[in-house]
Each structure stands twice: as structure tokens, then as C-alpha cells.
Structure 1
Amino acid sequence: METRRHTAADELPKPAAHRLQRPSWRDSRLVAGVLLVLVATIGGAVAMRHYDNSVEVLQASHSLVPGQKVGSSDVHVVKVRIDKAGGTYLSANDPLPKGEVLREVRAGELVPRSAVGTSTEVTVKAVALPVETSQSANLVKGSVVDVWVSKKDQSKVGQESYAAPFRIIGRAVVARVPSTGGGFSVASDSGAVHVLVPDDKVAQVLEAVNQGAKVDLVPAAGSPLKGN
């Protein structure tokens, strides 16, 4: 009978096999890991809120012209990240201002608080100017034009003769354009182009129109036009 030889390996401890177990909510390491994730998430959100200086302000939905009131359809809310923007532009958290627009605000422009004031601060008047339909066809509310006048030559009776044109107003804002046209508008017609004329120029413009002067509206560089 063969005798098994005893070796040193027989004296080494045998490793015990352990079955893998699912981690339990009672496992302190799992709880600590979940807490660390929650703390990091909350901390990140708080930090972002702390350093986010964005505010909600009002942006012009279309051109705003001097003398008009600001309604809900004229503006919409946008969120911007500009230092101290809340003090410069109309805040979305405040009621709409009850005053009138003092200067042109183009479509897409943030509405400055300084652009709205009382009616006594408006320094322009809307004057209806007779122009050919070909000139008014491309104009829109908010277009910027130079107003040129050619005075009628009163010495030539029965003849359509005009003096050399001169610019009477530079960079005037169009307040209204005719919805339909028919060749040539007259000053009293609702189809005339209404242009915002500075107070100190109103008398001069009306005098020229009443004396039959020819009026031309020339769009200024960069002016909003129909189709642009």
C-alpha cells in the first residue's frame, strides 16, 4: 500500500470561498457615496446660481418710434448676461411703463429705461408728407430717412417748375406708411407717409408742403426697409 508523502503545502491554510452579495442600503460605504454625489450636485447648482448674473429684460419686437406708448405686443422677454443690465434696460419683472417712447428703438434692441418718458419730453411731431408711391413702397415703420424739399417756382404760372432740392431734415424716423397707395399722396390723405419732425422744424416743413413743394424721402444708410 502506497503511503502519501506529507508536504509543507498541506500545512498552509485553505482560503474559504465567499459568495458575492448585493450591496445593501445598510452598507455605510454605499450611503456615503450617495451622500457625496448629492452634496456635489447641490453644491454645483448653488455655485452656478451664485455666479450667474443673467437677468430678464424687455426687447423690442418691432421698431418703436417716439410718441408711441409701449404695449405688451411691442416687446418680449429675453434673458441676458450683462453687468448691471437691470438698471439700464426695462426689467421683465416690472410693469410696462406708462409713458411714451422718446427715441427710436429698433426691432431686436433691448429697451433702455431712458428711451421711455413723459409726453412732455417728446421733442418730435408726426407730420404727413406727400410723396410718390414709388418712394413709400419700401418704407416701414421705423425707417430712417432724409427729407428733401424742392420748392415750387411761383414765378412761372401754369408750369410745373421747382427750385433745386435741399435737405430740410436729416435722419427722420418714419412713424407710419400708407397701407395702400395710388400714385401720389396728399398731405391730408391717410395714405401719406407720416414722418417724425423735430419741433423746431415743423413750421418750416408745413410751410413748404402748403406751398406745393415736392417732397422726397431718401432712406439713410442702414435704415430698416421692407423686405430687409
Structure 2
Amino acid sequence: MESRRPAENELPKPAARRLQRPSWRDSRLVAGVLLVLLATIGGAAAMRHYDNSIEVLQASHALVPGQGIKASDVHAVKVRIDQAGATYFSADDPLPKGEVLREVRQGELVPRSAVGDGRSVHVKAVAIPVDSAQSATLVKGSVVDIWVSRKKSGDAGQVSYDEPTRVLERAVVARVPSGGSGFTVASDSGAVHVLVPDANIPEVLGAIHQGAKVDLVPAAGSPLKGD
């Protein structure tokens, strides 16, 4: 009997080979791991090299004109702003010397232009006795309009007041009482301290000393207690 010959168009079948688990001795595996490590290290180094962020000072609470800056008033934050070191105080430098020249709100970066010679500050803190219901809503850094109702004498010794008029817009609150009545004039412990421009101090003090009613009305966008 003749043996069967394979057909001319029949291809030989390759023998199946069993897959082998990669080993640390496999040079290709080692090379791949090294490439991944090198890429990770190189990427981290590049990020550090091109990271232009710096730490500057941010106001922990409102800073008002005339006050000095203590460590508790500011904290460091990292920012990525062009020429930030020239515009804002760096956290690596000592605390700024001098006095705050303008209001710096809570959370605002402290600009170098906002601190300087206190002689250029032309506002003074005036203690204004107000109803405790008004002071309860205010915080240091609140912005208020000052309204005055001047006293006038009526019949039979009755006291009445003129229509209120606004004597000052957008004054900054420097201090609020911790509690107690807000009507005492002899002691300012229950009064709200408001920064009044030098030119307006005589009018505000005159109204207080003459027994006028003074109201502090928060301006639009003013920080208030609970905000």
C-alpha cells in the first residue's frame, strides 16, 4: 500500500509553544521598567524646574489702615502670578514693617503698596455709640455709611430729630464691641470704631456730642458677621 502524500497546497502546521512567564532575568522586562522609572523621574524634575509658583502673604482677616502687621494677621499661600514677588510680600521675607495704608480684605494677597509710612494714613478711628442690634452684624473690615439724625427741640420740652442725612460713605470698621450696650458715650467700650477721614472727623464728633442719632448702614458687598 502506498503512503499518502500531502497535498501540494497543504501547509505544514507549526508546533504550539507554551507561553512563559516573564522573569526579572528577562533583559526586555528590566529595560522596560528602567524606561518607566526614567520617564517618571524626568517628568518630576521638569515640573520642579518649570514651576514658577512662589509663596506670598495672604490676609487671615481684614487689615485696616493704621494697624501694624503681626504674625497672626497673615499666612503663606502658594501662587503662580507673573512678578508676584515684586507686587506682593513674600512669605520668605520678614513681616512687613510700617502700617497698613488701605483696607486689605480677608483672603486678599497683601500688596507691597498697602503697607508703608503711617504718616500717610489720613483716617482716624472714631468711637461711635450705636444700638447693639447694629453692632451685632458688623465685623472688623465691614464697610458702612454713616447716617446722622440731628436732635431738635420740640414743644413742651419734647425731643425730636431731623430726617437722617448721610455724612460719610464707605467708611471701614476698625473694631466692634465684644458685647454690652451700645449707647454709652462716656466710655467707648460698647462703641463701634469707624475709620473716618480727617476732614470729616469734626462733623461726626459734633453730631455725637450734640446727642444726634447715628446709624451705621452696611454698604453693598460689605463683609458682615456670618458671611
Note whether the superposition's TM-score is higher than 0.5: yes
Provide the residue aligned with 1:76 in structure 2: 75
Task: Name the structure 1 match of 2:134.
Answer: 135
Partner of 1:125: 124
Q: Distance in 1 between matches of 2:194 and 2:117?
A: 20
Q: What percentage of aligned pairs have identical amino acids?
A: 72
Cα separation, 1, equivalents of 2:150 and 2:192: 19
After TM superposition, list the pairs within 5 Å mapping 1:115-194 onto structure 2: 115-153=114-152, 158-182=157-181, 184-186=183-185, 188-194=187-193
Residue 50 (1) aligns with residue 49 (2): yes
For the Cα contact (< 8 Å) 1:132–1:185, is it kept in 2?
A: no
Shift of 1:157: 7.8
Q: Which moved more, 1:192-201 or 1:153-162?
A: 153-162
SS at structure 2 position matched to 1:131? coil
- RMSD between aligned residues: 2.9
Which SS does the other structure have where 1:173 is aligned?
Answer: strand
In 1, the alpha carbon distance for the partners of 2:203 and 2:214 equals: 13
3-state SS of 2:48 partner: helix
Question: For 2:36, what is the secondary structure of its paired residue?
Answer: helix
Kept after mapping to 1: 8 A contact 2:62/2:106: yes
Contact 1:69 1:101 in 2 (8 A): yes
Residue 29 of structure 1 deviates from its aligned partner by: 5.0
Instruction: State the AA in 1 paired with 2:193.
Output: H
2:208 aligned with 1:226, yes or no? Answer: no
Please list the CA deviations of residues 187-214 of structure 1 after superposition, one character each: whole Å capped at 9, or x if unmatched: 6421111000011111221122122221
Q: Which residue matches 2:105?
A: 106
Residues 65-106 of structure 1 show CA distances to partners (whole Å, capped at 9, x for unaligned) of: 111111111111111222222222221111111211111111
SS for the counterpart of 1:86 is helix
SS state at 2:69 partner: coil
For 1:157 and 1:57, locate their aligned partners in 2 and report how far apart those are by CA, in whole Å: 64
Structure 1: stretches of 5+ with no match in the other structure: 6-14
Is the Cα–Cα contact under 8 Å of residues 129 and 187 in structure 1 kept in the other structure? no
1:25-40 alignment, distance < 5 Å: 32-40=31-39
In the other structure, the counterpart of 1:8 is none
Give the TM-score taking structure 2 as reference length. 0.83
Range 178-187 or range 213-222, more displaced: 178-187
Is contact 1:125–1:196 with CA below 8 Å preserved after alignment? yes
> Counterparts of 1:156 and 1:72 in 2: how far apart (Å)?
58
- Alignment partners' CA distance in 2, 1:42 and 1:55: 22
Aligned residue pairs, count:
220
The verdict on how the C-alpha distance between 1:152 and 1:31 changes in structure 2, with shifts beyond 3 A counting, is same
Distance 1:95 1:207 in 2: 42
Give how far 1:138 is off: 1.0
Aligned counterpart, 2:203:
204
Shift in CA distance, 205/33, structure 1 to aligned 2, threshold 3 Å: same
Per the TM alignment, residue 173 of structure 1 is displaced from its structure 2 partner at its CA by 0.6
Q: CA deviation at 1:156?
A: 6.3
